[in-house]
Amino acid sequence: MTNVERHAYDVVVVGAGGAGLRAAIEARERGMRTAVICKSLFGKAHTVMAEGGIAASMGNANGHDNWQVHFRDTMRGGKFLNHWRMAELHAKEAPDRVWELETWGALFDRTKDGRISQRNFGGHEYPRLAHVGDRTGLELIRTLQQKIVSLQQEDHAETGDYEGRLKVFQECTVTRVLKDGDRVAGVFGYVRESGRLFVIDAPAVVLATGGIGKSFKVTSNSWEYTGDGHALALLAGAPLINMEFIQFHPTGMVWPPSVKGILVTESVRGDGGVLRNSEGKRFMFGYVPDVFKEKYAQSEEEADGWYADPETHRRPPELLPRDEVARAINSEVKAGRGSPHGGVFLDVSTRLSPEEIKRRLPSMHHQFKELADVDITAEPMEVGPTCHYMMGGVDVEPDTAAARGVPGLFAAGEVAGGMHGSNRLGGNSLSDLLVFGRRAGLFAAEYAAGLPAPERPAAGEEQIDEAAAEALRPFGAEAGDGGPDAGDGGSGAAVENPYTLHQELQQVMNDLVGIIRRGPEMERALQHLAELRVRSRRALVEGHRQFNPGWHLALDLRNMLLVSECVALAALERTESRGGHTRDDHPGMDRTWRKVNLVCELAGKDEAGHGTAAATAPTAAGDAAAGPGTARAEDAAGPDGAAGMSGASGPVSTGTAASVSLRRRPMDPIRPDLLDLFERDELLKYLTDEELDA
Amino acid sequence: MPPLVTAVGLALFVTYATWRAFANSHYYAAPYVSPFYSPCLASNCQDMKGGADWPLFGSWWGLSPALLVLVFPLGFRLTCYYYRKAYYRGIWSSPPACAVAEPHAKYTGETRFPLILQNSHRYFFYLALVVAGILTYDAVLGFRDEHGNWGHMGLGTLVLLANIALIWAYTVSCHSCRHVIGGKLRHFSRHPVRYRLWGWVGTLTARHMLLAWSSLISVGVADFYVYLVSSGAFDDPRFF
Amino acid sequence: MSSYTAHFKVWRGDADGGGLADYQVEVNDGEVVLDIIHRLQATQAADLAVRWNCKAGKCGSCSAEVNGRPRLMCMTRMSVFSREETVTVTPMRTFPVIRDLVTDVSFNYTKAREVPAFVPPQGVAAGEYRMAQQDVERSQEFRKCIECFLCQNTCHVVRDHDENKPAFSGPRFLMRVAELDMHPLDAAAEAGLDRAASAQDEHGLGYCNITKCCTEVCPEGIHITDNALIPLKERAVDRKYDPLVWLGSKIRRRGQ
């Protein structure tokens, strides 16, 4: 039996970003003893990076705004792949969630009459984003953090203990969701500071771990975004959906390394920034698709005229939609005409005077000056597409945020799938966190309250022992010295450096499953990923367990690899382009694919009994020969295969070892009263004739 | 400013001011009066035609009349938030500089006597307003000639004017002033005038250090100018 | 574009002690100190402990002391040092070391809990809050704080005086008191809580001798001293040391 710290709570929330904190507040207010676990310090979550605002149809800036309009915008943004019920709940509840923040002390920018100011944003019909300058995410996280503190103060006043009912476990990582039969029994994790292992027994677990950006080389995400919640859910037997949809922003910084991936706002291009390749050519003119030919300038002279006189000139091609620009940059780099660090040049210095640049782009000027030592008034920026947001995630019940198939497991925020469909609108992320964070907390609390102590599930000792062994493996358990599993790891001799593996993974995902995708490349990616998975088991770290970043990374690798496989499998499967999924070999959007969710599950889940730690660990059985091998759903030749989309297509091996499997599942038909919010002409672009006639 | 420069600057001024305050001479050269000696509140003052020469203290006061009034500007500056920073850092090394260890075993800040008296800063501010008003009056009197006739201007007039401008700027930029004028309010939106004033004062407050030093120098220069003219070492150039 | 080898000294150790370790490490154009620390992790010292998150100066995780100056490592460009210069990176001094560059900052979380939270006004429902922009701006400045705790670290009241820690909340949390006291709708007074007086009585405002180091190190450029601490001191004077104001408020209250 492993010696671990053991705590007991009613609800455990994994993740302390916007969704996690909101869930914890709700669960505690419903009377549940609640624990929040976060990898960083309390208040450092990636939510702080959000700048734009919180989308909520409060109608402060334009009285015509209401939830129906917000719902419509969200569905259009997601190309109708959103779960309509989530989009509906989100649009209806977002204003209350924002107002509630004010009662907790948030200070948004104000309108003239003292209400919350709302700003315009891409894809939103009316000014809708509640904001605080360009630091809305920070305001959100701080407000929730301070609300948690205020609840703790209440508890202290009553019981003399700040942490009696609501405790934040800072700098702890969860490596396993523990189960008892089908049901969640708690979590297993380690304290980053000390390396101590711990178990929290709890009947309800809320995943709120954010995204997966760290699987990609260029990302705007922080180190915490290693797909932990996605992987924890998979390993616990819960399915993920929509994993092929990742939002890339076309212009992120690629150089210097410290700021790789950080966003360069679109207004740089709007204000005259031009894109050039290493030969100095303004390449965007070669990438204007036929459908846009009439709207965009054909020559530099014409494009240059647009900035001053948009009436008689056509727009410069730098201002094509994001995916077009990203595609073009990608092609240039792949053709060897990229900048030294794998991007292209974005130059505003040749177009505007230094004074003008400082006046119009103050934050960009400051960002490059402070972070990159680059003076954008004198030199070009290097930019490239950057991985920004994961639309896919845990398949949840829209109303309760409960993960399907695993009682007691809930998910909210970026880790949950469905809400944003194939593409997220700016501003919908922060509102998503609040709306579904609250719902997850609420229903987790209800679930836990319905289970009095004697009926609560309990994780068995062997499960905990296995989780502990898994967590400590990087310290030498499988150093290729002929251990029990050495055989299936190939030569098994070489010790792997987790940092190297991570870099290789990022390179694979970036190059082969990046913004523009092609079938054969993704096949190759899957092969690489399988190899990396085997090698990752030989990842070995030095030092001891106290705050050892090498060890932490070795453990995070499991999650990134699992999630990356889901992404690659799903992206290979979906033979169309939609939102955050662009297939070079299938450029069109296909209405029949609209009805389909790709569901990713742990391979061999059924064989693995009830998904205990042992059976689902990416160790013994999972890897090469054993298990079902790969499991990619029947490639039914594109959307025509919709006939077979009963949701139970069997896994078929493609020769690539995979630890996850994919199946298709039809989407719930959209409720008629919601469909009525749209014109039939518009619906025809997205829905099949049969769906419309039904 | 490096602590040493601060300490030396303050020491120089204190030395000069001490000499001049106790000197009890050469502080009036009609129509100019040294800011160190105005208002003059004892009967042993030199006669200043129309000046702030009010023998409130009567004849029992035998020391320099400057000592009676210098207490107020001294107290104002001593309790000023900028000067506090300057001498805590420059003279007491508490701290000598940011992130540098301080050479004191104990530190209690302004929590107890005597430093808790720093909280009286606003009263010195009120008094400083009075003093600044009187010095303004003195500067205006600089437009008279030595016989009391209006329509005069000499270099001394300019010196006094520059000094009083800086004195006012320093006085108004005081943090207590900023508080009284509007900082104490909860809702600026209900007091638009005070809000605007608060904004202007805030702009000056941001330059409090600059104003503290320049007004300190100007007051010294003004006194020294009067001393030079009064002692006959320098003849006040007259413009009209 | 060029790279060179820099000489780094990084404090390695834990609660039981430690010392500066020497490293020769590659530095490329445009890098910041945090990049170099990461390179050390990836190539020479896989177990070098450091906190970081956003690497863009927005989360306030990577606080440390670089050549003795409290700074965010992600915002300290290598180009500010000459190539010959040895760059010394040490953990924040005011807080107990856990390991290497990671310190135990729980002091700050303890102090955060001691500041009573925002008190929502009675009878104003969510959605009915009305506040003018000019009324929220002062507190908004303080809410830019990213809680890097560099101000807490540099403040000499606690930096070399552990004995002052129980009585002194530090600039960050005195600023929090100021933020709430200036919040246009905070109803603490109605609930019987005098924030300004409590700043003096409970949070140790009197220890501050306004020497402004907190303002100097703030990576967000918040005017902590001028806009938060001094105004708070003045408000405390109103409540505690100014008989006129005290009298005035008594009379006004009776008049109501």
One-letter amino acid identity for C213? C
Under CATH, which number does the domain A248-385 receive? 3.90.700.10
Q: Which of C1, C3, C62, C109 to mutate to test the interface with A (most CBs of A within 10 A)?
A: C109
**Cβ under 8 Å to C: A residues 381-440:** none
In chain C, where the domains are located: 3-103, 106-255
Sequence-distant (≥ 6) Cβ neighbours of residue A326 within 8 angstroms: A248, A249, A250, A385, A515, A516, A582
pLDDT in tens, A281-319: 999 999 887 767 887 888 888 888 888 887 788 888 887
Chain B nearest C-alpha distance from C170 (Å)? 13
Q: What separation in angstroms does the CA of A357 have from each of A309, A383, A384, B37, C256?
A: 19, 18, 21, 55, 56
Domain spanning A476-666: CATH 3.40.50.300: no
Cα C188 off chain centre by? 24
pLDDT at B199 over 80: yes
Locate tokens 């509140």: which residue? B41
pLDDT at A638 over 60: no
Q: What is the mean pLDDT of residues A9-17?
A: 97
B169: nearest Cα among B139, B211, B223, B210: B211
Q: Which of C28, C74, C131 sits opposite A114 (nearest CB)?
A: C131
Which range, of A173-187, A294-308, C186-200, averages the lowest pLDDT?
A: A294-308
A180: nearest Cα among A2, A406, A471: A406
CB contact under 8 A, B109 and C160: no
Q: CB–CB of B122/B179 below 8 Å?
A: yes
Q: What separation in angstroms does the CA of B208 have from each of A39, A111, B91, B131, B204?
A: 44, 33, 19, 19, 6
Three-state secondary-structure class, residue B141? helix
**B146 token code pair:** 């030595």
pLDDT at A654 over 60: no
CATH architecture of C106-255: Orthogonal Bundle (1.10)
For residues A626 and A615, give the distance between their C-alpha atoms in angstroms, rounded to a whole number: 12
One-letter amino acid identity for C90? T
Would you state the pLDDT for residue B53? Answer: 86
Beta pairing, strands B28-29 & B32-33: antiparallel
CA dihedral C157, C159, C160, C161 (to 10 degrees): 50
A387: nearest Cα among A584, A569, A217, A135: A217
Say if A495 is an interface residue toward chain C (CB within 8 Å): no
Q: Which of C69, C93, C161 sits opposite B107 (nearest CB)?
A: C161
CB contact under 8 A, C156 and B102: yes
Average pLDDT score over chain A: 87
* DSSP alpha helix (H) spans, A206-321: 228-235, 267-270, 300-308
For residues B134 and B45, give the distance between their C-alpha atoms in angstroms, rounded to a whole number: 16
Chain C residues inside the 8 Å CB shell of B112: 206
Query: Using 50, 70 and 90 to split pLDDT, how confident is the model at A272?
Result: confident
pLDDT in tens, B87-97: 999 999 999 99
pLDDT at B84 over 70: yes
Q: What is the mean pLDDT of residues A434-439?
A: 98
Q: Where in chain A do CATH 1.20.58.100 domains reside?
A: 476-666
Locate tokens 């053991």: which residue? A6
Would you state the pLDDT for residue A267? Answer: 66
Q: CB–CB of A109/A117 below 8 Å?
A: yes
One-letter amino acid identity for C239? R
Q: Is the pTM of this model over 0.80?
A: yes
Beta strands in A202-237 (DSSP E): 204-207
pLDDT in tens, B202-228: 999 999 999 999 999 999 999 999 999
**A634 token code pair:** 């029947």
Q: Which of C77, C99, C146 sits opposite A547 (nearest CB)?
A: C99
Would you state the pLDDT for residue A288? Answer: 84
One-letter amino acid identity for A447? Y
Average pLDDT score over chain C: 94
DSSP structure class, residue A298: S
Under CATH, which number does the domain C3-103 receive? 3.10.20.30
CB contact under 8 A, C132 and B187: yes
pLDDT in tens, C72-125: 999 999 989 999 999 999 999 999 999 999 999 999 999 999 999 999 999 999
Residue of C nearest to A59 (CA): C127
Query: Using 50, 70 and 90 to split pLDDT, how confident is the model at A622?
Result: very low
Q: What is the mean pLDDT of residues A57-77?
A: 94
**A577 token code pair:** 């382009």
Q: Where in chain A do CATH 3.50.50.60 domains reside?
A: 8-245+389-461
Would you state the pLDDT for residue A693? Answer: 86
Chain B nearest C-alpha distance from C184 (Å)? 6
Give the right CATH number for A8-245+389-461 from 3.30.70.3420, 3.50.50.60, 3.40.50.1400, 3.40.718.10: 3.50.50.60
